[in-house]
């Protein structure tokens, strides 16, 4: 009889403890912590990725500017030097004209060689896509964290788990992610010379 009573008390204690969130509270807490780690991971990804992408785009745009500037300068130089029919007997005038036209030809050849690499518009589109993707990942991570916090807070504040939450774990409600006032303004991407 004593053994039966002991088993009945152990069974009742197990049911009581199970009903008090002994397993579900730590599970919900760890899930919320893991979702917070995802939020931090995505913010770190943005911190690492965006400056590198901006530098890549800036470098590609600078290369394009240099190639196009060379062509423009060579064209301007070539059009400034003219040889009139009276100067055709002056070898120096003909040589200056030929050199200016040669510089323009070389810069046009460089432009043709560089053309496959001149993709600043494509680089800007890729940057825009990467920024958008990163911001979407952050949004999803924050949403998942807030859902995990809601599940944890609900578990620790509803009966019968509230008993285990207060008595066994001393649980406190977790804070959901809330955007600060600065989040109301769109971020600025700067392609200037500053780093």
- The whole-number pLDDT of residue 175 equals 87
Task: Give the per-residue pLDDT at 141.
Answer: 92
* Under 8 Å between Cβ of 61 and 193: no
Query: Does the structure show a pLDDT above 80 at 104?
Result: no
Mean pLDDT of 63-69: 75
Across 76-85, average pLDDT: 77
Looking at the chain, the whole-number percentage of residues with pLDDT higher than 70 is 77
pLDDT bracket for residue 195 (50, 70, 90):
very low
Q: How many angstroms separate the CA atoms of 80 and 73, rounded?
A: 11
Return the closest-CA partner of residue 157 out of 141, 139, 171: 171
Give me the pLDDT at residue 18, please.
54
CA nearest to 60, candidates 150, 8, 125? 125
189 pLDDT band, cuts 50/70/90, is low
Residue pair 39/138 in contact (Cβ under 8 Å)? The answer is yes
The predicted pLDDT at position 155 comes to 87
Separation CA 44–CA 186 (nearest Å): 19
Residue-wise pLDDT for 131-161, tens only, equals: 788 888 988 999 999 999 999 888 888 887 7
Long-range contacts of 154-158 (CB under 8 A, 24+ apart): 155/21, 155/24, 155/25, 155/28, 156/21, 156/25, 156/28
Helix (H) or strand (E) holding 70, with range, is: helix 24-80
Q: What is the pLDDT of residue 103?
A: 76
Q: Does the pLDDT at position 186 exceed 80?
A: no
Q: Which residues contact 38 (CB under 8 A, 6 or more apart)?
A: 141, 144, 145
Q: Is the pLDDT of residue 19 over 70?
A: no
User: Does the pLDDT of residue 123 top 80, yes or no?
Assistant: no
| Under 8 Å between Cβ of 176 and 149 | yes
The DSSP element (H or E) to which 140 belongs, if any, is helix 120-157
pLDDT on residue 75: 77
3-class DSSP assignment, residue 1: coil
Mean pLDDT value across residues 168-195:
72
More confidently predicted of 185 and 97: 97
């Amino acid at each position: 009889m004593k053994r039966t009573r002991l088993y009945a008390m152990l069974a009742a204690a197990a049911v009581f403890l199970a009903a008090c969130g002994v397993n579900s509270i730590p599970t919900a807490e760890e899930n919320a912590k893991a979702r917070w780690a995802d939020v931090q991971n995505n913010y770190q990804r943005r911190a690492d990725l965006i400056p590198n992408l901006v530098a890549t785009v800036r470098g590609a745009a600078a290369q394009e500017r240099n190639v196009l500037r060379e062509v423009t300068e060579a064209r301007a130089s070539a059009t400034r030097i003219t040889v009139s029919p009276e100067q055709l007997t002056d070898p120096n005038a003909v040589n200056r004209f030929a050199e200016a036209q040669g510089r323009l030809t070389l810069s046009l050849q460089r432009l043709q060689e560089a053309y496959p690499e001149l993709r600043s518009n494509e680089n800007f589109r890729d940057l825009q896509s990467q920024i958008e993707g990163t911001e979407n990942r952050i949004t999803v991570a924050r949403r998942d964290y807030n859902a995990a916090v809601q599940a944890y807070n609900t578990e620790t504040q509803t009966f019968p788990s509230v008993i285990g939450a207060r008595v066994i774990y001393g649980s406190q409600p977790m804070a959901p992610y809330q955007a600060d006032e600065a989040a109301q303004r769109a971020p600025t991407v700067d392609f200037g010379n500053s780093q």
